[in-house]
Amino acid sequence: MKRLGILLSGRGSNFEAIADSVAAGRLDAEIAIVISNRREARGLEIARARGFPAVCIPSKGLPREDYDRQLIAELKSRDVDLICLAGFMRLLTAEFCREFPMRILNIHPSLLPAFPGLDAQKQALEHGVKISGCTAHFVDEHLDAGPIVLQAAAAVLAGDTAETLSARILKEEHRIYSEAIRIVLAGGWRIEGRRVVVD
């Protein structure tokens, strides 16, 4: 069985959706470890309540390189096949990315390459786009930049606030993230340039 390592910093709803997919048998994988860089992350509580191995590795005050080395050690000791960033609010070092090439996924709440970085939903609203959405993509050392596995669109409606748009996009995040993980774990894909080509 393929082993997932989940990295999160907060609410953990994408992690919950992944855990639900595993529990429902939609995703043939096991959650080997949940790691948070913040002790107060709700995602950490959910992981413990659901009986998954969960640890906090606090990042505050640590140089990025030192922190990422701790992460690498923990993930390797858990023998993970795929790392899923689920609201993990840190940029990973090149060293970390080199350790796990094409084995790190992220979910981002916009149709990349539009609106990378923080507050993507607010950026979309302020830009005035009529359609936004979410992107499940491989992670490299650049922000929200790696090859795209799946995307889903969400309409921007008149009267939307960052909160209402975020909620509409989040539903799609929960749906496509598990599906992207399933595709990547299944194999039978390759990277051509920037494109993820599934056979």
Tell me if 13 contacts ligand GRF by CB under 6 A: yes
Nearest Cα to Cα of residue 145 among 170, 116, 172: 116
Map tokens 């056979």 to a residue: 199
Nearest Cα to Cα of residue 29 among 80, 65, 66, 71: 80
Tell me if 37 contacts ligand GRF by CB under 6 A: no
Task: Kindly tell me which residue out of 4, 5, 6, 14 binds ligand GRF, with binding defined by CB under 6 A.
Answer: 14
Residue 104 and residue 139 in contact, taking contact as beta carbons nearer than 8 Å? yes
Tell the smallest beta-carbon distance from residue 75 to ligand GRF (Å): 19
Could you tell me which stretch among 3-11, 26-34, 47-55, 63-71 binds ligand GRF (CB under 6 A)?
A: 3-11
Assigned token pair, 22 = 């595993």
**Packing angle of the helix pair 162-186, 13-23 (nearest 10 deg):** 40
Phi and psi, residue 39, nearest 5°: -60, -35
Known catalytic membership, residue 108? yes
Nearest Cα to Cα of residue 135 among 167, 101, 175, 163: 175
Within 13 Å of residue 119, how many CA atoms lie on the same side as its CB? 7
The residue type of 80 is: V
Binding to ligand GRF, residues 151-170 (CB under 6 A): 170
Could you tell me which stretch among 5-13, 20-28, 155-163, 186-194 binds ligand GRF (CB under 6 A)?
A: 5-13
Tell the smallest beta-carbon distance from residue 76 to ligand GRF (Å): 24
Window 173-192: contact mask with ligand GRF (x via CB under 6 A): x-------------------
Tell me if 10 contacts ligand GRF by CB under 6 A: yes
Binding interface with ligand GRF (CB under 6 A): 8, 10-14, 43, 86-87, 107-109, 170, 173
Residues marked as catalytic? 108
